[in-house]
A and B are shown apart, each in its own frame.
Chain A
Amino acid sequence: MTNSTETQNLLTIRGLRIEGKSGDHWNEIVHGVDLDLKRGEVLGLIGESGAGKSTIGLAAMGFTRDGCRISSGTIDFDGIDLVNATQKVRRGLRGHRIAYVAQSAAASFNPAHKLIDQYCESPIVHGVMSRDQAEKDAVDLYRRLHLPNPEDIGFRYPHQVSGGQLQRAMTAMAMASKPDLIIFDEPTTALDVTTQIEVLSAIRDVVREFHTAAIYITHDLAVVAQMADRVKVLLKGEEVEESDTRSMLNDPKEDYTKSLWAVRSFHAEPKADVSQACTPVVSIKNVTAAYGKVPVLHDVSFNIHKGRTVAVVGESGSGKSTTARVITGLLPASKGEICFNGKVMPGSYKQRSKDQLRQAQMIYQMADTALNPKQTIGEIIGRPVQFYLGLRGKDRLERVRALLDEIELEPDLYINRLPSELSGGQKQRIGIARALAAEPEFIICDEVTSALDQLVAEGILKLLSKVQKDFGLAYMFITHDLATVRAIADEVVVMQQGKVVEAGPKDIMFTPPHHAYTDLLLSSIPEMDPDWLDKLLKQREEAGQ
């Protein structure tokens, strides 16, 4: 055994280069990254998709996925050279001294075995402890992680346990052999915000108590602010900068890091209040809807006025997307009605006239699936121009070019490209142009920025508020991101389990007192303040007593 002290590195990575195979040749995806981690320290790895976070995290276990290889560099774990160690040595470390928590616990637990059996596997196989001891430990860990029925929950199968609980059970499994290091690979990304809080605080407490070192991988700045002692920012396989969490948040050095932080500063200009008396563009009146026999919306009502943005917030299953489907006519309401400019619309899109369809357009979350990959940009934007406005040939081309100008893409450069030749943000702009091409009065924006990297998302928000001003559009903005709501909304509608919990102008909605659920939801959304989680937990504890 090594005589480790607090100052000695547990993990040292130098000049790590990793290649991935695409087709017949190898492309470098990690370009010489250094990493130091001391015992008991939590390092946040943060970056956009494609930054190489997970690849580096796995490499810290001496593991590469199929089709990847370490081409050069050293990985030293407590004096063991992981790059050159035999398979047997590496296997002996994994699950014993280095453990892993995956993003999707539901997929990463074996469906054929009970949780407790999967928990006990590592400690028994690695000869750390007996089955009895492991089971006792498991119950203790389950309790520390605030799992319900810690005595019994281990005897369930993975599909019998909820997502948030599974994620905690997976953390427990990682702790089973009392490892020195745990790699957390986006453990809360798939969870709802209110569940995320519980998992975050559980993970943090356990890691602190056992003095376990951890690498915490995420793309969410606010989350990493709560979890990490130090933060390393990655971009396309290279390190941008690294420093302790507080100074990183208060004083980022590199432009790229600053740009990540800057996103939160955008705010649309406040608008003059409209008189509630004038006819709203869209009016949802007492809508109830169901998928088959499963009711999903109950008595939902709200209005959207010309030139204003209504943000609809809620967790998955709250009915916010279903509301959009009812408005567009994809899911006809079983009770209640949808009015455009005061006129009742037919329930199904099939019965609506071309002009009625034109008035309401939609922008989708995933620009990848929203644009036909086999059509050029010119065709995608040109179709609604021709279909609704009857423009052809030269007129149509002129209109498409004007729209491309409107979304700030050079027409000559883009009009003949396919969607696959555009970046994510550019695709989303095309989605906006396609909606604008119909010259609508109302646009539904369904999580339009949540799949985008933050800087790009800001550009989209700015564009959306510019075209709103230019054309006097009404927006329904579906989102779960509070920062986005703050940035762009005029009014907020909070939904939970198919009902509108609370609705009103943004200023009022962000000022307490709230409805209990609004409060829970708003307070659960992580903030950039590293003390946010502590404050919140304390607040909730006090409120609970």
Chain B
Amino acid sequence: MHPLARMVLQRLGLGLVTLFVVSIIIFSAVELLPGDITQQILGQAATPETVAAFRKELGLDRPPVERYFDWLGGVMTGDFGKSLANQREISDLISGRFGNTLFLAGYAAVIAIPLSVMLGLLAALYRNSFFDRFINMATLSSISFPEFFVAYILIVFLAVRAQMFPAISSLNDDMTLLDMFYRAFLPALTLTLVVTAHMMRMTRAAIINLLASPYIEMARLKGMSQARVIVKHALPNALAPIINVIALNLAYLVTGVVLVEVVFVYPGLGQLLVDSVANRDITVVQASCLIFAGVYILLNLLADILSIATNPRLMHRK
């Protein structure tokens, strides 16, 4: 087999194993619950009969391993069970919200990725210039801000004072796409600001690292112009680190949405997760965590595989 294909398959396998182990952790976290889950939900006043009945309904009288595989089997077919709080099918609760979350994260990514890669490249090329120092300060500050701080600043200035965008980003089904973009603008901008800083710094570091390679000096000593050095000699090798940076930040974005969704009352999965945690609606928490973790693992896996696939040393076998 081509060594590249073998490495990619290896990573895929590793990713699957990780996902499996993570699902076990998330499932068994509930087993670690101090005291009985039914007691937690029904409260101290519940009679032993109601507790027993509830336990049976949840299937808690069966051995954990059996329940785990039942649960996993359900998850595979899109059945996450029922909410403990309101008895609704979790898959119904989640499906629309997950889409909204992906929409928001995608929205932010579409702005953030080109912006930060470009800024990162520029900062690396004009290293130690005024521009670079300014960008360094600005991004360093920006990654130090809590997401909700950025969000509220935007609300104060763009929603309350300037009245340009809505402070609350409620969505509904019969909105046009344009409407959705308008309503989700502030949360998307918040995420963009936060993630751009990270991504830009990482891009800059990766490029600077690359520009220090002896082969870049060699290209200069061959009398190549700056533009040619960048395009012909640096970029083909920079692809892998940049892709890696992007995928890592997308993964970050997916979890960064949780806070932003809460601030803007955006109907996404993060909001649902936080509400369910507050209600101790454990089955919904499990399902949301599994989805978040799944996306996160997937993106990290993607970063890994793409950076292998774009490595020239691996592309052309010996």
The answer to A–B direct touch (Cβ < 8 A) is yes
Which A residues are closer than 8 A to B by beta carbons? 58, 61, 63, 65, 90-96, 99-100, 102, 104, 107-113, 121-122, 125-126, 157, 159-160
Chain B residues in 8 Å Cβ range of A65: 217
In angstroms, Cα B225 to Cα A122, docked, is: 11
Also in contact, A110 and B233, with CB within 8 A (given A102-B214, A159-B318): yes
In angstroms, Cα B237 to Cα A110, docked, is: 8
In angstroms, Cα B281 to Cα A435, docked, is: 66
Look across to chain A and name the residue whose beta carbon is closest to the beta carbon of B235.
A112
Q: Are B220 and A63 in contact (CB under 8 A)?
A: yes
Q: Are A108 and B318 in contact (CB under 8 A)?
A: no
B97 to chain A, nearest CB (A): 43
Does B312 sit within 8 A of A, measured CB to CB? yes
User: Which of A91, A93, A108 is the one whose CB lies under 8 Å from B225?
Assistant: A91
Does B99 sit within 8 A of A, measured CB to CB? no
Does B213 sit within 8 A of A, measured CB to CB? yes
Look across to chain A and name the residue whose beta carbon is closest to the beta carbon of B310.
A112
In angstroms, Cα B222 to Cα A58, docked, is: 12
Chain B residues in 8 Å Cβ range of A63: 220-221
Chain B residues in 8 Å Cβ range of A99: 221-222
A183 to chain B, nearest CB (A): 8
User: Which of B213, B222, B236 is the one whose CB lies under 8 Å from A122?
Assistant: B222
- Interface digits, B209-235 against A, CB 8 Å rule (1 contact, 0 not)? 000011101111111110010001100
Chain B residues in 8 Å Cβ range of A61: 221
Chain A residues in 8 Å Cβ range of B237: 110-112
Chain A residues in 8 Å Cβ range of B228: 125
Chain A residues in 8 Å Cβ range of B225: 91
Q: Are A121 and B222 in contact (CB under 8 A)?
A: yes
Does B6 sit within 8 A of A, measured CB to CB? no
Q: Are B223 and A160 in contact (CB under 8 A)?
A: no
Does B62 sit within 8 A of A, measured CB to CB? no
Q: Are A110 and B215 in contact (CB under 8 A)?
A: yes
Task: Enumerate 20 A-B pairs (CB-CB under 8 Å) in ascending A order.
Answer: A63-B221, A95-B222, A95-B223, A99-B222, A100-B218, A100-B222, A107-B214, A108-B214, A110-B215, A110-B233, A110-B237, A111-B215, A111-B312, A111-B313, A121-B224, A121-B232, A125-B222, A125-B228, A159-B318, A160-B316
User: Which of A107, A112, A121 is the one whose CB lies under 8 Å from B236?
Assistant: A112
In angstroms, Cα B313 to Cα A58, docked, is: 29
Chain B residues in 8 Å Cβ range of A111: 215, 237, 312-313
Q: Are A160 and B318 in contact (CB under 8 A)?
A: yes
In angstroms, Cα B233 to Cα A46, docked, is: 32
In angstroms, Cα B214 to Cα A93, docked, is: 20
In angstroms, Cα B211 to Cα A65, docked, is: 12
- Interface digits, B168-190 against A, CB 8 Å rule (1 contact, 0 not)? 00000000000000000000000
B89 to chain A, nearest CB (A): 51
Q: Which residues of chain B in 184-218 are interfacial with respect to chain A, using CB atoms and an 8 Å cutoff?
A: 213-215, 217-218
Q: Are B223 and A93 in contact (CB under 8 A)?
A: yes
Q: Are A126 and B223 in contact (CB under 8 A)?
A: yes
Chain B residues in 8 Å Cβ range of A159: 313, 316, 318
Chain A residues in 8 Å Cβ range of B219: 110
In angstroms, Cα B220 to Cα A125, docked, is: 12
B309 to chain A, nearest CB (A): 13
Interface pairs A-B: 5 shortest CB-CB: A95-B222, A94-B223, A112-B236, A95-B223, A107-B214
Q: Are A96 and B316 in contact (CB under 8 A)?
A: no
Q: Are B312 and A100 in contact (CB under 8 A)?
A: no
Chain A residues in 8 Å Cβ range of B220: 63, 94
A121 to chain B, nearest CB (A): 6
Chain B residues in 8 Å Cβ range of A160: 316, 318
Chain B residues in 8 Å Cβ range of A92: 223
In angstroms, Cα B224 to Cα A125, docked, is: 8
In angstroms, Cα B219 to Cα A102, docked, is: 11
Also in contact, A91 and B223, with CB within 8 A (given A110-B233, A112-B237, A112-B312): yes
Which B residues are closer than 8 A to A by beta carbons? 213-215, 217-225, 228, 232-233, 236-237, 312-313, 316, 318
In angstroms, Cα B236 to Cα A104, docked, is: 21
Chain A residues in 8 Å Cβ range of B232: 113, 121
Q: Are A157 and B223 in contact (CB under 8 A)?
A: no
Also in contact, A104 and B214, with CB within 8 A (given A96-B223, A113-B236): yes
Chain B residues in 8 Å Cβ range of A91: 223-225
Q: Are B312 and A107 in contact (CB under 8 A)?
A: no
A sample of 17 more A-B contacts (CB under 8 A), given A110-B219, A157-B313, is: A90-B223, A94-B223, A95-B221, A95-B223, A100-B222, A102-B214, A102-B217, A104-B214, A107-B213, A107-B215, A108-B215, A108-B218, A110-B237, A111-B215, A113-B232, A125-B222, A125-B224
Chain A residues in 8 Å Cβ range of B213: 107
In angstroms, Cα B85 to Cα A482, docked, is: 82
Chain A residues in 8 Å Cβ range of B218: 100, 102, 108-110
Q: Are A157 and B221 in contact (CB under 8 A)?
A: no
Chain B residues in 8 Å Cβ range of A96: 223
User: Which of A94, A95, A157 is the one whose CB lies under 8 Å from B312?
Assistant: A157
B30 to chain A, nearest CB (A): 42
A338 to chain B, nearest CB (A): 37
Q: Are A100 and B316 in contact (CB under 8 A)?
A: no
Look across to chain B and name the residue whose beta carbon is closest to the beta carbon of A174.
B222
In angstroms, Cα B218 to Cα A108, docked, is: 6
B64 to chain A, nearest CB (A): 39
A88 to chain B, nearest CB (A): 9
Q: Which of B218, B220, B236 has the most CB of A within 10 A?
A: B218
Chain B residues in 8 Å Cβ range of A104: 214
In angstroms, Cα B224 to Cα A95, docked, is: 8
B296 to chain A, nearest CB (A): 31
A185 to chain B, nearest CB (A): 10
In angstroms, Cα B222 to Cα A109, docked, is: 12
Q: Are B316 and A94 in contact (CB under 8 A)?
A: no
Chain A residues in 8 Å Cβ range of B233: 110, 112
Q: Which of B214, B228, B313 has the most CB of A within 10 A?
A: B214
Chain A residues in 8 Å Cβ range of B316: 157, 159-160
In angstroms, Cα B223 to Cα A91, docked, is: 4
Look across to chain A and name the residue whose beta carbon is closest to the beta carbon of B311.
A111
In angstroms, Cα B228 to Cα A100, docked, is: 18
A99 to chain B, nearest CB (A): 8
Q: Are A94 and B318 in contact (CB under 8 A)?
A: no
B182 to chain A, nearest CB (A): 43
In angstroms, Cα B220 to Cα A99, docked, is: 11
Q: Which of A104, A112, A125, A159 has the most CB of B within 10 A?
A: A112
User: Which of B214, B215, B221, B313 is the one whose CB lies under 8 Å from A94?
Assistant: B221
In angstroms, Cα B221 to Cα A91, docked, is: 8
In angstroms, Cα B218 to Cα A111, docked, is: 12
A138 to chain B, nearest CB (A): 15
In angstroms, Cα B224 to Cα A126, docked, is: 9
In angstroms, Cα B218 to Cα A100, docked, is: 8
Chain B residues in 8 Å Cβ range of A112: 233, 236-237, 312
B102 to chain A, nearest CB (A): 34
In angstroms, Cα B318 to Cα A534, docked, is: 35
Q: Are A122 and B215 in contact (CB under 8 A)?
A: no
A89 to chain B, nearest CB (A): 10
In angstroms, Cα B216 to Cα A102, docked, is: 12
A86 to chain B, nearest CB (A): 13
Chain B residues in 8 Å Cβ range of A108: 214-215, 217-218
Look across to chain B and name the residue whose beta carbon is closest to the beta carbon of A92.
B223
Chain B residues in 8 Å Cβ range of A95: 221-224
In angstroms, Cα B218 to Cα A121, docked, is: 12
In angstroms, Cα B318 to Cα A93, docked, is: 35
Look across to chain A and name the residue whose beta carbon is closest to the beta carbon of B216.
A110
Chain A residues in 8 Å Cβ range of B313: 111, 157, 159
A311 to chain B, nearest CB (A): 34
In angstroms, Cα B217 to Cα A65, docked, is: 9
